[in-house]
């Protein structure tokens, strides 16, 4: 935290209405929403693109748009618009659950959407500290090739995933599971090429038929068990977490498989160690594919992404904390700003595979995400969005996926702009005002607004 008077000794790079720190799914939603409402908006992002895990993290898959187990679409607004535009541009395909796409295409698309909306982008720029005056956030200290300087802002949205801005402002937070603060494992995605996908599909089908008792045959656990038994790979992971294939790059597959445990993503040393280990794991996995998976014999490494994927770190506390019970009981909130419906997706914290706390919801499952969890305690003019909002460890397992992150971002950006127009603090802004503005942009906030895809 740095007082405004001290910060002003540094050069002022920009002065804006709304500063969005972090350009991932949440930051993208926030920036587009604020700029479309006429706020002078700037995104500060350490990498060279919007999209966060979806692009810089090499992920290529966004979910989840539907109520559990049905084709009813429970999400509108910017998240739906992004999926539609991916398909329209020929960068990927979608179904009721999600959208799969080429990462490079999404980077281009999001640059264009920011430009259309009038949101300014400052890439290659790292957030360093939060400027605070009388308990209110007044902007940020940033560092880039130009040097170190400040960006003054009337509202700031912390969309860093790790809650960097709020933590530097002195806001209280929690980390990881309640027993010891350990977080979910981190994963370096990687993309392989030279794949004969129809043969891979045929192998998966044959595997499922010969393993009728396996209720998740797509994980191909038998393949990895054999590779581990033969000493071909270390047991860092035991089943597929995701193979992301799209017809627009038919010989390439994005792989969600590496797993590094007990990492604190707010420490550069941990991130470095995790990345080096995960890159080894990626090449070990590729060697296994070449030996064991028909259709992948001639595959090769295409890329590992700019950054390792983080599933969990700081959760910035608001007066309201979204809990496991709220989610599982599908509690209705009067300040709902978007729906979530993902299962409680918690990877094993101490080893390979999934955690015992995983919870698979029943058909028809969906829940409200309240506006109040975006409003950190002990700081004014600051909103959070995405992975760092106020929730419990278990609740984060569900709300952390990208569609609700975009939705939370859209609500935060909307609230930031409207609070300026009305000259009230975001905490004083009535949720109904935010909801009305979201609905004007096709948000789905109640049962009777749900549509079929």
Q: Which residues bind ligand FAD (CB under 6 A)?
A: 22-27, 44-47, 52-53, 56, 59, 61-63, 126-127, 159-162, 164, 187, 189, 242, 256, 309-311, 386-387, 400-403, 405
We find the least distance from the C-beta atom of residue 125 to ligand FAD, in angstroms, to be 6
What ranges make up the beta strands (E) of 163-245? 173-175, 190-193, 242-245
- Find the residue with minimal CB distance to ligand FAD: 24
- Name residue, tokens 């977490």: 241
We find the least distance from the C-beta atom of residue 256 to ligand FAD, in angstroms, to be 5
We find the least distance from the C-beta atom of residue 335 to ligand FAD, in angstroms, to be 20
Listed residue (28, 37, 44) closest to 152, CA to CA: 44
For 440, counting Cβ atoms within 10 Å of its Cβ (0-12 exposed, 13-18 middle, 19+ buried), the class is exposed
Q: Which is nearer to ligand FAD, 28 or 419 (CB)?
A: 28
Q: Which is nearer to ligand FAD, 127 or 173 (CB)?
A: 127
We find the least distance from the C-beta atom of residue 230 to ligand FAD, in angstroms, to be 27
- DSSP letter for each residue of 351-385: SSSB-TT-BPPPTT--EEEEGGGGSBTT-BSEEE-
Q: Say if CB 51 and CB 161 are below 8 A apart.
A: no
We find the least distance from the C-beta atom of residue 237 to ligand FAD, in angstroms, to be 12
In angstroms, the CA 115 to CA 102 distance is 20
Q: Which is nearer to ligand FAD, 53 or 152 (CB)?
A: 53
How many other C-beta atoms can be found within 10 angstroms of the C-beta atom of residue 247?
A: 10
We find the least distance from the C-beta atom of residue 310 to ligand FAD, in angstroms, to be 6
Q: Which is nearer to ligand FAD, 22 or 139 (CB)?
A: 22
Helix axes 431-440, 402-421, angle to 10 degrees: 110
Q: Say if CB 345 and CB 377 are below 8 A apart.
A: no
Q: Which is nearer to ligand FAD, 39 or 278 (CB)?
A: 278
We find the least distance from the C-beta atom of residue 311 to ligand FAD, in angstroms, to be 5
In angstroms, the CA 99 to CA 107 distance is 15
Q: Which is nearer to ligand FAD, 75 or 418 (CB)?
A: 75
What ranges make up the beta strands (E) of 257-335? 300-303, 314-316
Q: Which is nearer to ligand FAD, 303 or 421 (CB)?
A: 303
Listed residue (296, 349, 323, 409) closest to 62, CA to CA: 409
Listed residue (12, 87, 37) closest to 434, CA to CA: 37
In angstroms, the CA 110 to CA 112 distance is 5
Q: Which is nearer to ligand FAD, 249 or 347 (CB)?
A: 347
We find the least distance from the C-beta atom of residue 388 to ligand FAD, in angstroms, to be 6
Structure-token pair, residue 29:
């939603």
């Amino acid at each position: 935290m740095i007082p405004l008077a001290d910060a002003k000794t540094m050069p002022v790079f920009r002065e804006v209405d709304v500063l969005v720190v972090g350009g991932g799914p949440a930051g993208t939603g926030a920036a587009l929403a604020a700029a479309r409402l006429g706020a002078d908006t700037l995104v500060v992002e350490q990498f060279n693109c919007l999209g966060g895990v979806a692009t810089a993290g090499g992920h290529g898959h966004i979910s989840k748009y539907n109520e559990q187990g049905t084709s009813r679409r429970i999400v509108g607004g910017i998240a739906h618009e992004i999926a539609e535009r991916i398909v329209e541009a020929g960068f990927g395909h979608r179904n009721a659950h999600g959208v799969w796409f080429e990462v490079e295409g999404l980077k281009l698309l999001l640059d264009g959407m920011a430009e259309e909306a009038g949101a300014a982008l400052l890439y290659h720029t790292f957030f360093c500290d939060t400027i605070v005056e009388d308990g209110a956030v007044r902007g940020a200290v940033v560092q880039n090739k130009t040097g170190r300087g400040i960006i003054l802002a009337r509202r700031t949205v912390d969309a860093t995933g790790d809650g960097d801005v709020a933590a530097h402002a002195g806001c209280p937070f929690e980390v990881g599971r309640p027993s010891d603060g350990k977080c979910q494992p981190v994963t370096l995605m990687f993309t392989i090429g030279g794949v004969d996908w129809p043969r891979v599909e045929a192998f998966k089908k044959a595997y499922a038929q010969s393993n009728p008792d396996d209720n998740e045959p797509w994980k191909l656990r038998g393949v990895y068990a054999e590779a581990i038994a033969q000493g071909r790979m270390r047991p860092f992971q035991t089943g597929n977490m995701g193979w992301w294939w799209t017809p627009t790059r038919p010989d390439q597959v994005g792989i969600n498989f590496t797993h590094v445990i007990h990492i604190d993503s707010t420490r550069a040393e941990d991130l470095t160690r995790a990345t080096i280990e995960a890159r080894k794991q990626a090449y070990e996995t590729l060697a296994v594919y070449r030996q064991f998976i028909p259709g992948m014999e001639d595959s090769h490494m295409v890329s590992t992404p700019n950054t390792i994927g983080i599933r969990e770190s700081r959760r910035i506390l608001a007066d309201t904390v979204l809990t496991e019970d709220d989610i599982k009981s599908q509690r209705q909130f009067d300040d709902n700003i978007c729906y979530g419906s993902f299962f409680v997706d918690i990877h094993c914290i101490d080893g390979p595979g999934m955690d015992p706390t995983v919870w698979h919801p029943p058909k028809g499952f969906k829940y409200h995400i309240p506006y109040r969890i975006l409003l950190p305690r002990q700081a004014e003019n600051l909103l959070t969005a995405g992975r760092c909002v106020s929730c419990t460890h278990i609740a984060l397992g569900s709300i952390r996926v990208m569609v609700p992150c975009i939705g939370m971002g859209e609500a935060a950006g909307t609230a930031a702009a409207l609070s300026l127009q009305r000259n009230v603090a975001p905490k004083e802004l009535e949720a109904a005002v935010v909801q009305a503005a979201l609905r004007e942009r096709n948000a789905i906030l109640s049962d009777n607004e749900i549509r079929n895809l």
